[in-house]
Chain A
């Protein structure tokens, strides 16, 4: 089984490009398509209807959609062991987060007209493939500058020029999908930890497992109740949350915080 994660801001053309990829792969492989979103989506229905493949809708509702994706991914894999390829499409709301896993293929669809790549966080910097969409709307020179700027923040990126209208770039992406190895380990690891919020992943948990996330959450919550939450910086970290993560990672002792000492 292979795990492919498409991330990118809304409107960048993720779904359109995925359609072309699925169209080419559906006859050779058993595919499951999972669409993550916050409140509503119909993409999953559209895709299962058009390509006759299994699709799943996952709505995060009140949770952060990327954290939600991290929580759901192991379940999805477990329930779809008969599939060759699982394609996850993220809600794509946050540039700081990226639910890419080391064991899968992370694809960032980025809109060439949407400004400087330097502004993007892990969603771009941690991607294996960067599919640049809407390049047909800007000059050749700007496309080349954009590409050079992507490589400044993600040296190893494989850049693909993609177009959701014509399907350009789909053959490149398929080539990469075919070339990656199957998921072997049961345990998946995030490429990049997620920012703090309210669950175990908020405290820097990286193993996609409910129990380990819960354990981390409780440990984090305990320290959270001890620190002043003033982000005073006296411990040497920019914020209390950063400090808590460092304590949980064993990088620093909790008495480094002057408030806990007292």
Chain B
């Protein structure tokens, strides 16, 4: 435990990815990819294209020693061994749709346990903040006395996001297909970026992909294209978010047992989301 308190996390300003080889043994088609603090990057491609391997390379800060032979620099430097192999110094937190809570404990005590494991003092204020954020992301309210095991899939994922944003100090977050979790995904991403983290997100969701600052297209185990999101695409993402809010609104009504006979029009997509 002592070691945790003493472990300092180096400030990450950016990571740089140098090409490796695809599944056919050919060099990937990019010079280098730079990702800065506070940036969201989407990783897209067909199932089995090698998206998870890309996340793994980042997680391991690969130095030509993973299957893909990619190289990752942190702040323009080769990361030292400590950073790569000592989990206490690990820079990366991850979140995927296959993750579940398995600890039989209340939400409140769980967050406290996590703070202790991270060597932090327990602050009631922070607890409240995390729950508030989780509740904004989740459709269904989470209360501190609820048992962790009884949370729904959406509630669990919402709590995981709020927890990662606030307690895990990791400056890099890897997200694997969050869209299927039944949470307000833009809100979740928003909380993560607020904390000045680097967010890499594997996604099949068009609005999430177009909301990112750039997207990497992966095929046959290699990055084949790096696209910077255009202004036009951002506009389209905005429109998609708006359109989705209708579907979310109707979804909530259906869940409450209401009959649907019309679609309410919102003029301001972002504000309307809060009403839901």
Contacts and interface: CB of A to CB of B under 8 A. Distances in A.
A137 B100 contact: yes
Contact of A139 (B52, B87, B88, B163): B163
Q: Which of A167, A168, A171 has the most CB of B within 10 A?
A: A171
Nearest to B113: A145
Contacts, number: 80
A172 interface: yes
Interface residues of A, number: 25
B13 interface: no
Interface residues of B, number: 39
Contacts of B100: 137-139
Contacts of A144: 114, 117-118, 168
Q: Which of A139, A149, A159 has the most CB of B within 10 A?
A: A139
Interface stretch (B89-97, B132-140, B213-221, B232-240): B89-97
Nearest to B95: A140
Interface string B110-130: 110110111000000000000
A139 B118 contact: no
Interface string B163-205: 1100110100000000000000000000000000000000000
Interface string A130-153: 000000111111101101110110
Contacts of B113: 145
Contacts of A142: 101-103
Given A139-B160, A166-B52, A171 B66 contact: yes
A175 interface: yes
Interface in A142-195: 142, 144-145, 147-149, 151-152, 158-161, 166-168, 171-172, 175
Given A145-B114, A148-B117, A152-B1, A138 B101 contact: yes
A171 B65 contact: yes
Contacts of A159: 87
A113 interface: yes
Contact of B85 (A138, A140, A148, A172): A172
Contacts of B102: 113, 137-138, 142
Given A161-B87, A171-B66, A141 B56 contact: no
Contacts of A148: 1, 4, 116-118
A118 B60 CA distance: 28
Given A144-B168, A168-B56, A171-B65, A137 B98 contact: yes
A141 B110 contact: yes
A159 to B, nearest CB: 5
Contacts of B170: 140
Interface of A: 113, 136-142, 144-145, 147-149, 151-152, 158-161, 166-168, 171-172, 175
List the 8 closest pairs (A to B, CB-CB), nearest first: A148-B117, A141-B114, A145-B117, A140-B93, A159-B87, A139-B160, A141-B163, A144-B117
16 contacts: A113-B102, A137-B98, A137-B100, A138-B100, A139-B163, A141-B110, A141-B167, A142-B103, A145-B103, A145-B117, A147-B87, A148-B1, A158-B86, A166-B56, A167-B67, A172-B85
